Amino acid sequence: MAVTLTPEIITLLDDDKTSKILATVGADGFPHAVEKRSLHYGGDGSIHYLELLETSTTNRNLVRSIWFGGKVAIALNGEGRSVQIKGRPVKTHITGPLYQRHYERIRASLGNVDLAAVWVIEPDEVIDQNLEARKRREEALHPDFVHLDLIART
Amino acid sequence: MVALLKQKFRTELSFDEVVANHPGFPRLIARKIDVQRRGVHYTERAAAAFDPDLHQLRSPYIFGSRDGEIKPLPESLLLRDGTTILVDPTPLAQDPYIVDHRDGRFVLIDDGEQVEDVDLWPKPAYYGKLTSSGLPMSHIVSARPQRLNVFQSSFCYFWADKQGCQFCDIVTHTKQQRDELGVPNRLRPKDVKETIAEAIREPGRFTSLCLTAGSVIKGAKLFDLEVDFYIELLQAIGENFTTKKFPSQLIASAFNEKQLARLYAETGLTSYTSDLEVLNEDLFNWICPGKAQHVGYREWKNRLVRAVDIFGRGNVGTGLVGGVETAQPLGFKTEADALASTLAEADWLAARGVTTVYIVWVPRPGSAFKDQKAPSLDYFIRLAQGLQDIRASHGLKVDFDDYRRCGNHPDSDLARLA
C-alpha cells in the first residue's frame, strides 16, 4: 500500500545537502546500502533513482526486486531530520521522454556520465528515525524498557 | 494477405499455472514470451490513443506479421521492467493478447483480465526526416527502444534457389514492403550513413547498431560479395563515430576466417552472429536446406568457433528460432527431447566461446511452416533458463545481444542478473 510523502519529506528528498542511502537486497540475502545522491521526488508520489551503471549491484538488485517482489529502503538524513522510507521498485525507464530528460540533466550536472536507468520507487511506509521521536514512541509503547539506574532517585 | 493460423491457446495450461511451476523465473519475462507466442490485437480505443508524434509506428522490418498486413499500428511494447516485447498485430481469431487504453494507460488484457501496464515504443527523433536523396530515414534504418537496425539487403539467395529456411518469410515480406511502402531493395551506404548520423544526434536514445540481411552466396569464395557489402556499409557508418570500434552486431552468413578477419580489421564491428536456427544436424538439413547445402551444419558450427578467435569470447553468437525443432513431421516428438538436444548443443558451443540466443518461433503466414504449431509457454521458459544457465556456467557474457542492445531474446533478458 503506497503512502503519501509529506511536503517535509519531499523537501528533504530533493535537498542536495541531504544524505541519501539506498538499501537493496541481493540474491544471497545480503543487504547492499550505498549513498545515492540521485534519489529525488518523482513528482507523482513516487521516488526516482537515477542508476548510472548497468551492472552495479544496486541495479541488479533492483531488477531482482521488480521481478520477484523485493523491497528497498531509503534512509534520509538532513536539516535535523532523519527518516526511513520503505518501498518497492515498480518501474524502470530505459528509454522515452522521462529517461531522456534525466539523461540530459545528469550529463549537464555531472559531466561525462552515462545513464543506465531511471527507477521508480513507490513508497509503502515512512518511518521517522529521529532519535527523540523514536524515544518518545518507545517510552509510550514499552515503558518497561529502561535501565533502572536511569530512573533511580539520586 | 490472409493469415491461416489456427493455433488455440485456451486448451493449454493457463499462464498462472505455467508460471507457478517456475517460481525462480521472472513473471514479466514469462509474460513477454507468452505475448510473443500469441501476438497482440489493438482495440479501437487503443488505436485512438496512439500519438504518431510520440509513438513509433510500424516501420520496415526484415520479417512480416501474423496478420500479413502492413498497417500504421504501434511498432511494439515495453514492460515496466524495461523489457522489450517485439510482437506483431495478430488476428483476433488466433486468440492474441489485447492491448487496450484504460485510465490514460496502455494495458495488456488476457481473457478479459488486465494483466500488465505497457508502454508503446517512443518515436525516435529522426523518423519523419528524409535523406539527401529524398528517402524516408525510417525506411533506411529502423529503431528499437535502444538499437538501430540496418537491413542492408532484402534479398536471400537461398530463397532464389527455393532453399529458403522453412520458418522464414523474408522475401515474401520484402516484396510486400517494396510494393506497399516503397522500401528500397538494397540500401546505399550514403543513405545509411546520413540516417545514422541523424539518429545518434538524439541524446540517450541508442546504444547499438545491428546489421542483417539475407544470405548472398556470390563471389570468388562463397559469401565474398555479402562480406563486401557489409564492409562498405560498416565503413560508411563508422565515419559517424570518434572511435574506430562502435557497439555493433552483424547477423550474417557463416563466413570463413579470412572474411571474418577482414570484417574485424577493416570496420568498427564489435560482434558477430551467424544463425544456426536449429541445433540439430538432421533438422538443420530439413529446415535450412540452403544453409545445409552451401555450408553444412558442422562447418557452420566450426566457423562460429573460429570467429571467437577473431572477435573474442562473448562477442560471437548464434541465433535459434526457438521451438522450430518441434516442427513436424521431422522434428522432435516431445518437448523434453527437443529441449535436451538443443541445450546439449548450446553447451558444446558455449564451451568454445559461442553464445546461443533464441527468438520465439511464430509460424508466419508468409513462411513454409505457416500451418505448424509452436511449442508451449513451459517449453520457452525452460529454453530461456537453460540457455542463460549454460552461458553463466561457461562465464560467457552476452552484452551485444542483451535486453537493451536487442530485446528479442528471453534468455538474454535473464542476463540482467548475471
Per-residue pLDDT for chain B (418 aa), expressed as one digit of tens each?
A: 334 444 667 678 999 999 999 999 999 999 999 999 999 999 999 999 999 999 998 876 656 667 767 677 888 999 999 999 999 899 998 899 999 999 999 999 999 999 999 999 999 999 999 999 999 999 999 999 999 999 877 788 898 888 999 998 776 666 666 677 667 778 999 999 999 999 999 999 999 999 999 899 999 999 999 999 999 999 999 999 999 999 999 999 999 999 999 999 999 999 999 999 999 999 999 999 999 999 999 999 999 999 999 999 999 999 999 999 999 999 999 999 999 999 999 999 999 999 999 999 999 888 889 899 999 999 999 999 999 999 999 999 999 999 999 999 999 999 999 8
**Backbone angles phi and psi of A23, in degrees to 5:** -110, 125
A152 vs A150: CA distance, rounded Å: 6
pLDDT (tens digit per residue) in B63-104:
666 776 767 788 899 999 999 999 989 999 889 999 999 999
B195 vs B148: CA distance, rounded Å: 10
B175 vs B187: CA distance, rounded Å: 15
**Closest residue to A95, CB basis, from B28, B29, B205:** B205
In this prediction, residue B9 carries a pLDDT of: 72
**Minimum Cα–Cα distance from A27: chain B residue:** B417
This prediction's pTM? 0.94
DSSP state of A26: -
A66: cell is 521488480
**How far apart are the CA of B204 and the nearest CA of chain A, in angstroms?**
6
Name the residue with higher pLDDT: B107 or A129.
B107
Q: Please give the torsion angle defined by the CA atoms of residues A89, A94, A96 and A101, in that order, rounded to the nearest 10 degrees.
A: 80
Q: How many helices (H) and strands (E) does chain A have?
A: 4, 7
* Chain A residues whose beta carbon lies within 8 Å of the beta carbon of residue B204: 99-100, 103-104, 115
Query: Is A87 contained in some domain?
Result: yes
CATH number for A71: 2.30.110.10
Nearest to B140 by CA among B155, B153, B123, B125: B153
B380 vs B283: CA distance, rounded Å: 19
Q: Do B28 and A90 touch (CB under 8 A)?
A: no
In this prediction, residue B318 carries a pLDDT of: 98
**Closest residue to A97, CB basis, from B26, B122, B416:** B122
A27 contacts chain B (CB < 8 A): yes
In this prediction, residue B71 carries a pLDDT of: 74
B21 vs B378: CA distance, rounded Å: 9
Question: Please, which residues have CB within 8 angstroms of residue A29's CB and are 6 or more apart in sequence?
Answer: none
Q: Do A92 and B204 touch (CB under 8 A)?
A: no
A65 contacts chain B (CB < 8 A): no
CB pairs under 8 A between A and B: 53
Query: Is A146 contained in some domain?
Result: no
Q: What is the mean pLDDT of residues A81-96?
A: 97
A34 contacts chain B (CB < 8 A): no
Residue A95 above 90 pLDDT?
yes
In this prediction, residue B3 carries a pLDDT of: 42
Nearest to B102 by CA among B118, B83, B90, B87: B118
In this prediction, residue B416 carries a pLDDT of: 97
Query: Is A113 contained in some domain?
Result: yes
Q: List Cα–Cα distances, A75 to A100, A128, B12, in angstroms.
A: 27, 10, 47
In this prediction, residue B339 carries a pLDDT of: 98
Query: Is A55 contained in some domain?
Result: yes
B404 contacts chain A (CB < 8 A): yes
Q: Provide the pLDDT confidence category of residue A129 given band limits of 50, 70 and 90.
A: confident
The structural domain count of chain A equals 1
In this prediction, residue B394 carries a pLDDT of: 98
**Closest residue to B81, CB basis, from A54, A67, A115:** A67
In this prediction, residue B173 carries a pLDDT of: 65
In this prediction, residue B63 carries a pLDDT of: 62
CB A123 within 8 A of CB A3: yes
DSSP state of A150: G
Q: Do B82 and A27 touch (CB under 8 A)?
A: no
Query: Is A142 contained in some domain?
Result: no
Query: Is A13 contained in some domain?
Result: yes
The range of the structural domain enclosing residue A94 comes to 7-129
E strand spans, chain A: 19-25, 31-35, 40-41, 47-51, 72-78, 81-93, 117-128
